[in-house]
Structure 1
Amino acid sequence: MLCKITRILYVLTGFLMLVSCNEYQKVLKNEDTKPKYDLAEKFYNEGDYKRANRLFEQIAPKFVGKPQGERVQFFLADTYFRIKDYNFAGYQFERFVKSYPKSEKAAEASFLGAKSYYLLSPRYSLDQTDTDKALVKLQGFINSYPDSEYLPEANTMARELTTKKEKKAFEIAKQFTKLGKSYFLDYNVSAIAALDNFISDNPGSVFREDAYYYKIQATSVLAFNSTEDKKQERLEDAKAAYETLIRYYPETKYLKEAQEFAERIEEELKPYTKQDNATK
Structure 2
Amino acid sequence: MLDIVETKAARRPAKVAVLLRSLVLVSALALGACASDKDDLALDDTPAEVLFNEGLALRNAGRLSDAGKKFSELDKLYPYSEYARKSLINLAFINFSLGRYPEAIAASERFTTLYPGSEDSAYALYIIGQSYFRQIPDVTRDQEQTEKALSALNELIRRYPDSEYTADAKSKVLVAYDQLAGKEMQVGRYYLDRRNYIAAINRFKMVVINYQTTRHVEEALFRLTESYYALGVVNEAQTAAAVLGHNYPDSRWYKDAFALLKKGGYEPSENRGSWISRAFNSVKIL
Taking structure 1 as the reference length, what is the TM-score of the superposition? 0.70
Greater CA drift, 121-130 or 243-252? 243-252
What residue identity is the alignment partner of 1:206? R
The answer for the alignment partner of 1:59 in structure 2 is 74
- Counterpart-to-counterpart distance in 2, 1:37 and 1:249: 57
1:98 and 2:97 are equivalent in the alignment: no
Change (3 A) 1:71 1:256: closer
Change (3 A) 1:91 1:221: same
- Counterpart-to-counterpart distance in 2, 1:218 and 1:124: 22
Change (3 A) 1:126 1:72: same
What residue identity is the alignment partner of 2:244? L
Change (3 A) 1:247 1:148: closer
Q: Is the 8 Å Cα contact of residues 178 and 211 (structure 2) preserved in structure 1?
A: no
> Higher Cα Rg: structure 1 or 2?
2
What residue identity is the alignment partner of 2:62? G
SS of the equivalent of 1:123 reads: coil
The answer for the alignment partner of 1:264 in structure 2 is 263
1:251 and 2:250 are equivalent in the alignment: yes
- Counterpart-to-counterpart distance in 2, 1:154 and 1:177: 34
The answer for the alignment partner of 1:21 in structure 2 is none
SS of the equivalent of 2:172 reads: helix
The answer for the alignment partner of 2:89 in structure 1 is 74
- Counterpart-to-counterpart distance in 2, 1:195 and 1:100: 42
Match of 2:214 among 205, 210, 213: 205
Q: Any gaps of 5 or more consecutive residues in structure 1?
A: 1-28, 181-186, 224-233, 268-280
Amino-acid identity (%): 22
Quote how far apart the aligned CAs of 1:70 are.
Answer: 1.6
Q: Is the 8 Å Cα contact of residues 213 and 258 (structure 1) preserved in structure 2?
A: yes
Q: Is the 8 Å Cα contact of residues 216 and 241 (structure 1) preserved in structure 2?
A: yes
Q: Any gaps of 5 or more consecutive residues in structure 2?
A: 1-37, 267-286
SS of the equivalent of 1:254 reads: helix
- Counterpart-to-counterpart distance in 2, 1:247 and 1:40: 59
1:87 and 2:115 are equivalent in the alignment: no
Match of 2:152 among 125, 134, 137: 137
Quote how far apart the aligned CAs of 1:56 are.
Answer: 2.3
The answer for the alignment partner of 1:17 in structure 2 is none
The answer for the alignment partner of 1:49 in structure 2 is 64
Q: Deviations over 1:102-152 (max 9, x none)?
A: 433333223223222222222322212222122111111112211111111
Q: Is the 8 Å Cα contact of residues 135 and 145 (structure 2) preserved in structure 1?
A: yes
Q: Is the 8 Å Cα contact of residues 229 and 237 (structure 2) preserved in structure 1?
A: yes
What residue identity is the alignment partner of 2:124? A
- Counterpart-to-counterpart distance in 2, 1:85 and 1:162: 24
Quote how far apart the aligned CAs of 1:194 are.
Answer: 2.7
Q: Deviations over 1:88-111 (max 9, x none)?
A: 111111212222234333332232
1:158 and 2:167 are equivalent in the alignment: no
- Counterpart-to-counterpart distance in 2, 1:41 and 1:175: 52
- Counterpart-to-counterpart distance in 2, 1:125 and 1:58: 42
Change (3 A) 1:241 1:103: closer
- Counterpart-to-counterpart distance in 1, 2:234 and 2:155: 47
Match of 1:178 among 193, 207, 214: 193
List structure 1 runs of 4+ shifted beyond 6 angstroms. Answer: none
Q: Deviations over 1:43-100 (max 9, x none)?
A: 1111111222233223322121323222222222221111111111111112122222
